[in-house]
Structure 1
Amino acid sequence: MTQTSFAITRRQALAGLGATTALTLGGCTTLGRPAAIAQAQSIGAERLLEVVAYNLLEHEPERATSLGVDTGRHADLRARLEDQSQAGQDRYAATLRQDLERVRLVPREGLDPDLVTSLDVVESAYSTALDGFALPYGDVAVGSWRNAPYVVIQNVGTYLDMPRFMDSAHPLEDGSDADAYMARLEALPRVLDGELERMQAARGMGVIPPSFLIDKAIDQMQSTIASAQSGELFVAQLRQNLAAKGMPPAFAARAEPLVTGPIADALTRQLAELGLQRGMADGDPGMWSQPRGDEWYDWALRASTTTSLSPDEVHERGLEELAMLHARMDPILREIGYTSGSVGERMQALSRDPRYQFAQGDPGREQIMDFIHERIDWITAQMPRAFNTLVDPKLEVRRLPLSEEPGAPAAYGGAGSKDGTIPGRMWINLRTTDLHRKYDLADLTYHETIPGHVWEGEYSNRLPLIRSILAFNAFSEGWALYGEQLADELGAYDEFEVGRLGYLQALAFRACRMVVDTGLHHKRWTREQARNFFVERNGSKYEEVASEVDRYCSWPGQACGYKVGHSEIVRQRARAEAELGEAYDFKAFNDAVVLGGNAPLDVLAKNVGRYIETTSTRAA
């Protein structure tokens, strides 16, 4: 099949965004059902989806900036922040409820299949999110990758998100951008106090995070406050960015009293609340110990996997997949001389082999960065062998901010903005080089960049705006694991068998996550029991899994989406191969999945079904 490029599609997709005319649509309750149906039919599905997208961005203006669509009629979004108060979250839920009803009223008959997919995606995302908003506490991610029962904790909260966002996503090209930057800083104390209100309300219900998470959050909050009080937070980076653009430093001078005064004060109020909660906390890590915790976890697991799998079913699947993956690792270990002990014990021994360790300190950090860039160059050159429709993503590799590293995973990544001005990024945790090995860093790179998150996100950015906004944990992470598999199938480890061990161990790690996450939140495992499962069963590095396990405690269910999603993509590929026979094409299947966009797993299955039907018709 002829290879194609997406560049023109991107320009065409963006052409209509700035011209969007704001619509005032009456609520379904106000209009009555017949009138609402008529309205949904008259506006048209494509136009309705665009309106729904901007209605969502009204509540999350930071996403508009990250996508590069806070322009034209929507330029005011660049100066605003999400309302984190309970009233603000209630208004957000009301908008979702209203727009979900409108989407459900659109007749599907005669619509283009891609439009039907988009409507199905919105319906799934919004209905799941509304179930989360109906719970009495927590932070609901609408079409995003994690939900959290605790509004502010070691890896959740504006105190972490905003410094990174303002540095890496908020543009500073001219004076209007700088004015918008200042407006966001002025709004920040209200946002922090909105979070504080919800923290206090949760405490009143008896929702107290585990003591060890609060300890981490307190340390990080103290670091952020110290940076604010010294005038460094936001200001130092703002000054640097202004200078790089040849803009006057006066904006930085205006920002400093905001940061050292109202922003630092609001952060201090959050710190005081964390201290109060610490005095009430215990060490129980799982949601089972929280009020309505079982209900909350059931919802979070459903949201993260886009399935109805129960905690017990996820747990057993994880154990089964772990056993199958270890069966593939065992002969490779024997071949390289590791013959005694369990797979986990032998992988621990391998991790101690100095041949596969990076140097300590800054020399090792430089080695890691060079290694990542070399692997990106290699895998990019392989993409014409795996896809007919190619993209050319902008891509940066950046170290995580120092204040974020203690509570963060080994790495994470994502696509850039819809307009291409903000590059896709891989954020690498370099608090210690012992987090990484030469046999597992390549796999991590493929997961976060190409063909993983950055690559997949480029396709979603060329879909209608609402599809660029909505992402599903099981698809996002399942695709990134499938990207790791593609790298192996394209020959990444043909001359480095130890690297294939790293890839298989990474897959096994995700199977372990299914076991550990459900163990913590459903089977009442201890924190140490969860850590030891990784180390003893999979040979994972203790330094890595210590923060991993804590992450599962604050993002319940999220860790289960990876392997559930990957296994479903692999299952759909086997289905296509079986049903199409000689008509099956590797590149065409990969196109069908990624061009269908980020979707719940049941919608993914429908997309693959259409690919099979179309291919069968052509072959007949």
Structure 2
Amino acid sequence: MLERRTLLAAAAASSLLAAMRSPAQAALAAPDGEGAKLTALYERIYNMLVDQDPEFATALGLDKGERAAAKSKLADRSPAGIKRGQDLYRLGLKELQAIDASKLSGMDLVNYDTFRGPWEDYVKAYDSFSYGLHSWPEPHPVTQLSGTYRSIPDFLVNQHSIANAADAEAYLARCIDFAAQLDNETGRIKDDHAAGIIPPDFVIDRTLNLFESIMAPAPDANVLTKNIQAKTADIPGDWASRCAAIIKDKIYPAMQRQAGELRAVRPRATHDAGVWRLPKGDEYYAYALRYATTTGMSAEEVHKLGLDRMAELSARADAIFKEQGMSKGSVAERMRALGKDPRFIYPNTDAGKAELIAKLNEQIQEMQRRLPEAFGRLPKAKCDIRRVPPEIEAGAPGGYYQIPALDGSRPGAYYINLRDTAENPSWTLPTLTYHEATPGHHHQIALAQEAEGIPSLRRLPAYSVYTEGWGLYAEQLADEMGVYASDPWGRLGYLQSYMFRAARLVVDTGLHHYRWSREKAIQYYNEALGTPEGSNVTEIERYCVWPGQATSYMVGQTSWVRIREAAKAALGDKFDLRGFHDTALSAGAMPIEVLESVIERWTAGLKA
């Protein structure tokens, strides 16, 4: 999966002009008067986004030069700060509506369609719901997976660079601002709690455990102190002691106030897991599904797709198990047994975890060698593999991707959760690597950042159905490229990954539409997947606080495959897989129906 800021900032794009060959395709880039106005609008909105969000500027490597002051600040989590972000979409939509779409064609029309419908939906949501619209639909700002308390330390450690004393001072300024933003967020959750918007009891309990873990070290042993100490070894100054003082006097007290608010509201929390329990909860979930999938699929349709895919994938896994002499028990029971097989478990030690990461690097290198088989354009940016920071790994997902800096100063990063190596048997790892790194998220997003000829804003909105759909499609592509030709266990890992995403459709709609309990959803995962119960609990609790988001993977993957197969059927021998991929990625991240229109035009151009 993509990290939170990536979901807001990243997009898959490349130079469409380079991929265009026919006259019909070349026309995609032809601008006109309305197209020029559209591009100018998008550039203004892009610059406003960067200026409003200093963390975004740092993530993109733009916190220097004229924007150097951004490096001393964090994003404003106050109600006023969130309203400013929402007002950008209101402004953008108003100006977008003033553009005459009938005079747009080609890529200008793609650019227009990419935002017009979604922005209308966002603004309607802002007018309809009083909670949970800071970024994607997320009803509670502070949970085991969300909140300043966990995101800012990770951000400062992994994205704030320190090359000189000014950078170190900026780091300390951000630490001071960290405390202020914690209090801004605490004020927001107090207002939510007063309005009856309270997380489930198990979410509060998990979150309070994380607070205790984060605040357990003495200030001089906190990760923020250790980070600046390591990064300023050659920079004179008492940086570590100053940081520790900020943690002691400002950050820890602000965290304690936030944790205190959660403890205070805990007696009012219920065990109900779905957003149906919240004000206008059914409407909120319908919006969350539209946001996640960019389609009009109903919860019932999403649920049925999940059940159908589970049946198909389980049958495929059953056939492989039987070929390997494992025929007793359900597919889930055999998956569970395979997951405990010592042959496939790395030692749960620092050495074992280092060995695991080394193996992931080998898989990336081997895939890099194969990429020209399926792609004409390859990204220049590299991808590092890193461990999820131990202090947040308890509540973090199994893996996620962080975007590279635009200026090349920081590579992309694929984070893997190594809280327990037993959760990562070796047969499950290749497909995770192909999803998060290459040919998945890193391949797609790095190309976006290296793109030319499209507005900067078109590189930013990571429509989850497009990006996560691509990540899951990349897993299938790896199989089609032959990576499992002599590795049946690895192919089982790939099928289990797909079953995992299909099951998400079932449990997400189960929790939020059919009103399943947390326990029923966990039981479904235990019985259907064979993955460890501990990781199943973490996943189900994720869906409880991020409604809809998990449906984007399989809905997106099925859409990518449907669009590809339609192009193959239309083109026959003229179909070129590399051309399909280059064109689809070069057109930028977009809603599914817009992607479909881009490929239909590409197909028409090749048939002409």
- TM-score normalized by the length of structure 1: 0.89
Q: Does 1:148 align with 2:141?
A: no
Q: List per-residue Cα deviations over 1:165-224 (Å, max 9, x = no partner).
A: 111111222333233323322222221111111101110111111111111110111222
Three-state SS of the structure 2 residue aligned to 1:238 is helix
Equivalent in the alignment of 2:194? 204
| Residues 231, 259 of structure 1: 8 Å contact kept | no
Q: CA deviation at 1:160?
A: 0.6
2:571/2:607 contact within 8 Å kept: yes
Q: Is the 8 A contact 2:132 2:138 kept in 1?
A: yes
Q: Does 1:58 align with 2:51?
A: yes
Shift of 1:469: 2.0
> Residue 336 of structure 2 corresponds to which residue in structure 1?
348
User: Where do residues 235-314 of structure 1 align in structure 2 (5 Å cutoff)?
Assistant: 235-243=225-233, 246-314=234-302
2:365 aligned to which of 353, 377, 384:
377
Q: Which residue of 2 aligns with 1:94?
A: 87
Partners of 1:224 and 1:542 in 2: CA distance: 25
Residue among 314, 335, 343 paired with 1:326: 314
Asked which structure has the greater RCO (Cα within 8 Å, sep 6+), the reply is: 2
Name the residue aligned to 1:593. 584
**Distance in 2 separating the partners of 1:224 and 1:340:** 44
Counterpart of 1:31?
none
2: CA distance, partners of 1:483 / 1:363: 30
* Residues 1:368 and 1:392: Cα distance change in structure 2 (over 3 Å): same
**In 1, Cα distance between equivalents of 2:226 and 2:341:** 41
Contact 2:219 2:244 in 1 (8 A): no
Paired amino acid for 2:154: R
1:477 aligns with 2:482: no
Cα shift at 1:152: 0.5
Correspondence 1:561-600 to 2 at 5 A: 561-600=552-591
> How many angstroms apart in 2 are the aligned matches of 1:421 and 1:517?
38
Question: Match for 1:290: what amino acid?
Answer: L
Q: 1:482 to 1:553 in 2, by over 3 A?
A: same
Shift of 1:563: 0.1
CA contact (8 A) 2:13 2:448 kept: no
How far is 1:51 from its partner?
Answer: 0.9
Give per-residue Cα distances to partners, 1:393-440, cap 9 Å, x unaligned. 221111111121111111111331222212111111111111111111
Match of 2:120 in 1: 127
- 2:9 matched to which residue of 1? none
Letter of the 1:161 counterpart: S
Residue 551 (structure 1) aligned to one of 525, 542, 551: 542
Distance apart, 1:106 and its partner CA? 2.6
Shift of 1:137: 4.3
Shift of 1:135: 4.5
Contact residue 414 and residue 425 of structure 1 kept, 8 A: yes
Contact 2:35–2:104 under 8 Å retained in 1 = no
1:250 Cα offset (Å): 3.2
Of the structure 1 ranges 391-400 and 428-437, higher mean CA displacement relative to structure 2 is found in 391-400
Deviations along 1:135-155, whole A, 9 cap, x unmatched?
Answer: 44444354xxx5311111111
**CA distance in 2 between partners of 1:161 and 1:494 (Å):** 40
- Quick one: distance in 2 between partners of 1:469 and 1:204? 35
Deviation for aligned residue 1:364? 2.6
In the TM superposition, residue 109 of structure 1 has moved relative to its aligned partner by 5.2
| Distance in 2 (alpha carbons) for counterparts of 1:363 and 1:140 | 42
Aligned equivalents of 1:84, 1:416: Cα separation in 2: 24
Partner of 1:467: 458
d(CA) in 2 for partners of 1:338, 1:7: 44
Please give the residue correspondences for 1:171-210 in structure 2 after superposition, counting only pairs within 5 Å. 171-210=161-200
Relative to 1, partners in 2 of residues 1:337 and 1:509: Cα closer, same or farther, differing over 3 Å?
same
- Normalised to the residue count of structure 2, the TM-score between the two structures is 0.91
Identity percentage over the alignment?
36
Select which of 428, 442, 450 maps to 1:440.
Answer: 428
Which SS does the other structure have where 2:375 is aligned?
Answer: coil
CA contact (8 A) 1:318 1:511 kept: yes
* Amino acid across the alignment from 1:59: Q
**Number of the residue aligned with 1:214:** 204
Q: 2:39 aligns with which of 31, 46, 56?
A: 46
How far apart, in 2, do the equivalents of 1:261 and 1:99 lie? 41
- The alignment partner of 1:407 has SS state of coil
Cα separation, 1, equivalents of 2:415 and 2:351? 18
Distance of aligned partners of 1:119 and 1:429 in 2 relative to their CA distance in 1, 3 Å threshold: same
Going from structure 1 to structure 2, the CA distance change for 1:111 and 1:462 (only over 3 Å counts) comes to: farther
Q: Counterparts of 1:502-581 in structure 2 under 5 Å?
A: 502-581=493-572
Please tell me whether the aligned partners of residues 510 and 521 of structure 2 are also in contact (alpha carbons under 8 angstroms).
yes
**Match for residue 81 of structure 1?**
74
SS in 2 for 1:420: coil
**Matching residue of 1:15:** none
How many angstroms does 1:343 deviate by? Answer: 1.9
* Letter of the structure 2 residue corresponding to residue 164 of structure 1: D
Question: Could you tell me whether the CA contact under 8 Å between 1:137 and 1:149 is conserved in 2?
Answer: no
Are the aligned partners of 1:304 and 1:558 in contact in 2 as well (CA < 8 Å)? yes
Kindly state the Cα deviation for residue 327 of structure 1 after the two structures are TM-superposed: 2.0
SS of the residue 2:385 aligns to: strand
Contact residue 511 and residue 521 of structure 2 kept, 8 A: yes
One-letter amino acid of the structure 2 residue matched with residue 254 of structure 1: R
User: What SS does the aligned partner of 2:426 have?
Assistant: coil
Quick one: which amino acid aligns to residue 428 of structure 2? D
CA distance in 2, matches of 1:292, 1:7: 36
Match of 2:406 in 1: 418
Q: Deviations over 1:281-338 (max 9, x none)?
A: 1211111222222121111111111111111111011101111112222211110011
Gap regions ≥5 residues in structure 2: 1-11, 17-32
